[in-house]
Amino acid sequence: MQILLAEDDDGVAAALLEVLYDHGHVTRRVTHGRDVLTYHRSSDLLLLDLGLPDIDGLDVLRSLRAVSDMSVVVLTARGDERSVVRGLRLGADDYLVKPVRLAELLARIEAVTRRGAAKSAPAASRVRAGDVEVDIDARRVQVGGADVELTIKEFDILAVLAARAGTAVSREQVLDEVWGDAHHGVSRSLDVHLTQLRAKLSRPELLTTIRGFGYRFGDAGDIRGTDDAASGPADFGSDAASGPTD
């Protein structure tokens, strides 16, 4: 696996580079947040320290998530609840507090990689929950076999949730995917659209609000989906590439 390590502490980085190398991972180390945004495209997973010298790691994560869905494991000394919650809500796949046991880190990397492989599998183009069917590609919704007319934004919101049916989706993620960079100041609009969407579907239990987090389309056990288509470590802190050194 190609791993990008963002860590400015030389001692910590050396230990991580060695263990990752020993377990067959090709690792590139960077020491600044700006380098993460430069090199992430050639990596499968990011190990991210939050205390980087130029950009706070949480800001790096926010910027990265705007352009990439690569797997991210935060590895930091910040163990306070606020930082953990923010990191996960901004899109980290896992959050580990230093000092971390190396065997646990490797196991977490494996787990995140498995989830990432499942997430990257082709998504179902049609999702069914009860008698509600959402055809994402055709932008069509049926309830009990009858078409339901939705506005563009109503369908966009429904599509974001239906694509992750049975899974909690954060409010921030819905805003980002539907409104993009222009979502600031439209939070209230999302509430209005959701109210109208629930009314049009006539299935209020289908769209669940998860207080303090976001929303879920259906329950995992009730969801059916169909897809119509067949379907050596490098230390870049000093721009050097090599295996572990003494």
Q: Per-residue pLDDT tens for 6-26?
A: 999 999 999 999 999 988 899
246: in domain: no
114 in the same domain as 11: yes
95 in the same domain as 23: yes
The whole-number pLDDT of residue 230 equals 36
Burial of 87 (0-12, 13-18, 19+ CB in 10 A): buried
177: in domain: yes
**Closest Cα to residue 234, out of 71, 41, 16, 9?**
16
pLDDT surpasses 80 at 50: yes
pTM for this entry? 0.52
Query: Which structural domain range is residue 148 located in?
Result: 126-226
Question: Domain count of the chain?
Answer: 2
**DSSP secondary structure code for residue 172 in this structure:** H
